Amino acid sequence: MQNWLLLLSFSALLVGGFLLRKLWLGAFIGCIILIVGKLLFTEGEILTPLANGAIVSVELILLLFGAYLFYNTLASRDHFVGFVKSSAAFSSRLTMAILLCWFLGSFMEGIAGFGIPAMLIAPLMLAVGYRPLTSVVLPLAADTTAVTFGALGTPFKVGLDIYSNSPEIQFTVIMNVLPALTVPMGLAWLYSKTEQEKIAWKTEWKTLVWGGVCFIVPYGVVGQFSVEYPSVVAGLIGMIPFLWLSVPKKERPPTRVWLKTFYPYLLFVGMLIPAKYLLGSIGFSFGEGLKTFSLYQPGLVFGVSALVYLFTTSQQNKLLYLAKHAKGTFSRITMPIFTILFLVFFAQLLRQNLEMSAGQIFVEVSDLASLGFVTFAGVMGSFITGSATMGVLLFNSSVIALFPCGDPLYLRLALLLTGAAIGNAISFQNIVMVQSVVAQPVSISEVLSKNLKFVFIYLMVVFMEGAFISYLLT
């Protein structure tokens, strides 16, 4: 019955999202199917998942509201005018997209996580002149490799309870080096589809390969001794040689333009890091089995950052100005709020069923097939929950219970985490969040169809690497 509930609820979600073009309706019907099925057939828990869903929804809504308010405040002050003018000097708009999505996005993922990078990069790309579809697809696709060490190593620290160098970290780094080398090429391919521009591969391939090299060198080196900073360093340090060797000097925006454009983002990061360390362990508990509501809420940090930004300008009546934009922001995200609410409830109700079905599959398949299923489980966990960390938590106990401690277990946990990182690019929750801050109509099904191809290739490369490593270990 567990499998039938999974099949029916997933079918409802996909029909609502693709055929009816109403994702909220698909998620709502999926929730009803799961609730009725649990009540009548499986006697599964209902109240706890719904309560946890309400808590997670509040956190996501705060994040969506804060991110959109932050960008809306900047845009209302014509903040991006100078950067837009300077970026017009770039002879390659593809190179600009790689800089923003791959390097700047990875840096933000390493610092913040929680879907924040794509939510910040997407409206910035729209302001520079990319199409709405490009502004959603590319930041989501680029936010894959960096998620493995996102939010200062949260997938390892929270998802796997790993705080220092370990075999799982080493396997994760090894399996992501080759795919990361080719990510810029994948982004270029996606760019050609969304912008409907032909890529001059004979001239661009060196730049794209160089973009991969600039990322994987610091990613691989720092990954040898740190669980927190591989993505941070790869994004920030990797950007420097890529910018200097890929962009002619006459085309580079002056340093003052970069500083003027990105200092509000630095304000945000500068407040986010101490907030994480000071407030991350403080929260409100609503009872046993229920998620703790943390005082560390990036959405609130976004709001404070918008206010601090206004105090650096000549804007009069700053609080009233921010309140006006807050009202407009809330009215703009009303529909996405309902979509997110039903998606989160769906994910929470589905977790127990999904974990039980995955455990049965892991037991029945061969060792080689289990590598693929573990990786795919990570993708599905992230796809359902919208979080790589939660995707790992969803299945790690099943993997640990089935495989003895040692290299086979470490490899599979690394595959689980890598799959969860990849799944971020196609999560319905993440797509809805990023689509909402772009504030222009973008088809969810179109975003998903584009990124599914990118994710499939990444997934196959990782699986083949995992199979090869497993062969060497036996």
Percentage of the chain modeled with pLDDT above 70:
96
pLDDT (0 to 100) of residue 1: 63
- pTM here is 0.86
Task: Quote the CA–CA distance of 324 and 330 in Å, as a whole number.
Answer: 10
| Region 90-114 average pLDDT | 88
Q: Report which of residues 138 and 384 the model is more confident about.
A: 138
Is residue 176 over pLDDT 80?
Answer: yes
β-partners of residue 294 are: 283
Q: What is the dihedral of CA 67, 73, 75, 79, to 10 degrees?
A: -110
| Region 62-89 average pLDDT | 84
| Region 217-224 average pLDDT | 94
| Region 409-438 average pLDDT | 91
pLDDT (0 to 100) of residue 230: 94
SS3 284: strand
Task: Quote the CA–CA distance of 184 and 214 in Å, as a whole number.
Answer: 11
Instruction: Provide the pLDDT confidence category of residue 304 given band limits of 50, 70 and 90.
Output: very high
Instruction: Provide the pLDDT confidence category of residue 67 given band limits of 50, 70 and 90.
Output: confident
Instruction: Provide the pLDDT confidence category of residue 395 given band limits of 50, 70 and 90.
Output: confident
Is residue 440 over pLDDT 80?
Answer: no
Task: Quote the CA–CA distance of 407 and 404 in Å, as a whole number.
Answer: 9
SS3 171: helix
pLDDT (0 to 100) of residue 145: 95
Look up residue 234 and give its two tokens.
């790869």
Is there a contact between 148 and 421 (Cβ–Cβ < 8 Å)?
yes
Instruction: Provide the pLDDT confidence category of residue 363 given band limits of 50, 70 and 90.
Output: low
DSSP element (H, E) containing 133: helix 132-142
Look up residue 162 and give its two tokens.
């790993």
Task: Say which range, 166-175, 302-311, 321-330, 462-471, has the weakest mean pLDDT.
Answer: 321-330
N-term to C-term CA, the chain: 37
Percentage of the chain modeled with pLDDT above 90:
35
Residues ≥6 apart with Cβ < 8 Å to 104: 121, 235, 239
Is residue 86 over pLDDT 90?
Answer: no
Task: Quote the CA–CA distance of 445 and 279 in Å, as a whole number.
Answer: 37
Look up residue 414 and give its two tokens.
């690394």
Look up residue 32 and give its two tokens.
């009803």
- Of residues 351, 342, 354, 345, the one with CA closest to residue 432: 342
pLDDT (0 to 100) of residue 38: 84
SS3 35: helix
pLDDT (0 to 100) of residue 330: 83
pLDDT (0 to 100) of residue 269: 83
Task: Quote the CA–CA distance of 70 and 83 in Å, as a whole number.
Answer: 17
Task: Say which range, 133-142, 207-216, 353-362, 413-422, has the weakest mean pLDDT.
Answer: 353-362
Task: Quote the CA–CA distance of 211 and 202 in Å, as a whole number.
Answer: 16
For residue 185, give Cα distances in angstroms to 40, 95, 211, 315: 50, 11, 9, 43
Is residue 6 over pLDDT 80?
Answer: no
Look up residue 163 and give its two tokens.
């705080």
SS3 280: coil
Is residue 97 over pLDDT 70?
Answer: yes
Task: Quote the CA–CA distance of 229 and 273 in Å, as a whole number.
Answer: 13
Task: Quote the CA–CA distance of 401 and 381 in Å, as a whole number.
Answer: 18
Task: Say which range, 104-113, 211-220, 347-356, has the weakest mean pLDDT.
Answer: 347-356
Which residue matches tokens 């971020």? 424
For the chain, what is the mean pLDDT?
Answer: 87
Is there a contact between 387 and 376 (Cβ–Cβ < 8 Å)?
no
SS3 283: strand
pLDDT (0 to 100) of residue 398: 78
Q: What is the dihedral of CA 151, 155, 160, 164, to 10 degrees?
A: -40
Look up residue 441 and give its two tokens.
């109509």
Residue 78 burial (CB count, 10 A): 9
Q: Report which of residues 202 and 407 the model is more confident about.
A: 202
Task: Quote the CA–CA distance of 384 and 391 in Å, as a whole number.
Answer: 8
Is residue 425 over pLDDT 90?
Answer: yes
| Region 54-70 average pLDDT | 88
| Region 370-377 average pLDDT | 88
Is residue 131 over pLDDT 90?
Answer: yes
pLDDT (0 to 100) of residue 179: 93
pLDDT (0 to 100) of residue 2: 66
